[in-house]
Amino acid sequence: MTIHLTPDDMRSTRSPEYAERVGADPEVWLLSWLPDRKLTREQAFAGMQLDELLSDVTATHDRMAHAQISAYADTIGIVWEQAIIRLYKRMLERFDGDPDGAALRPAPSGPRTAPQLFGHGDAARRIYFG
């Protein structure tokens, strides 16, 4: 689990999500999965760490990871359940063939089985993580 940092962006080796600096201010950042909230660099990094932990299927039953997840979510001002929902919607965007994630579409109606976030199946993992 690695997050690559530059002055302008943060990229994960585990997830397709990213953070980018916006504008001239080095302290204004956006997360790809939380684009409606301006964050500090520290908060953006916490958001990236949160995404990586939620993307780690080995953390499913790890109580320490759960505590870290909650702490990272608190740092960016959301509850961890919101983070899971946001990341799940991003995963569905990729699953539905919207690689740019241009719009959050409502889940399609019908009997489609959605993968679980924690411990989701290999097929969904390949779709989400490339």
Give pTM, 2 decimals.
0.72
Amino acid (1-letter code) at residue 14: R
Q: Domain ranges for the chain, please list them.
A: 3-129
Length of the chain: 130
The rounded distance, in Å, linking the Cα atoms of 52 and 56 is 6
State the pLDDT confidence band at 110, using cuts at 50, 70 and 90: very low
What's the confidence (pLDDT) of residue 125? 43
What's the confidence (pLDDT) of residue 98? 55
Instruction: Decide: 38 and 28 in contact? Cβ < 8 Å.
Output: yes
**H-helix or E-strand spanning residue 3:** strand 3-5
What's the confidence (pLDDT) of residue 69? 96
Summarize pLDDT for 18-53 with one digit per residue, the tens. 999 998 888 999 999 999 999 999 999 999 999 999
Task: Average the pLDDT over 51-61 and give the result.
Answer: 90
Within the chain, how many helices (H) and strands (E) appear? 4, 5
Amino acid (1-letter code) at residue 85: I
Long-range contacts of residues 39-45, Cβ cutoff 8 Å, at least 24 apart = 39/76, 42/75, 43/75, 43/76, 43/77, 44/10, 44/19, 45/3, 45/5, 45/10, 45/19
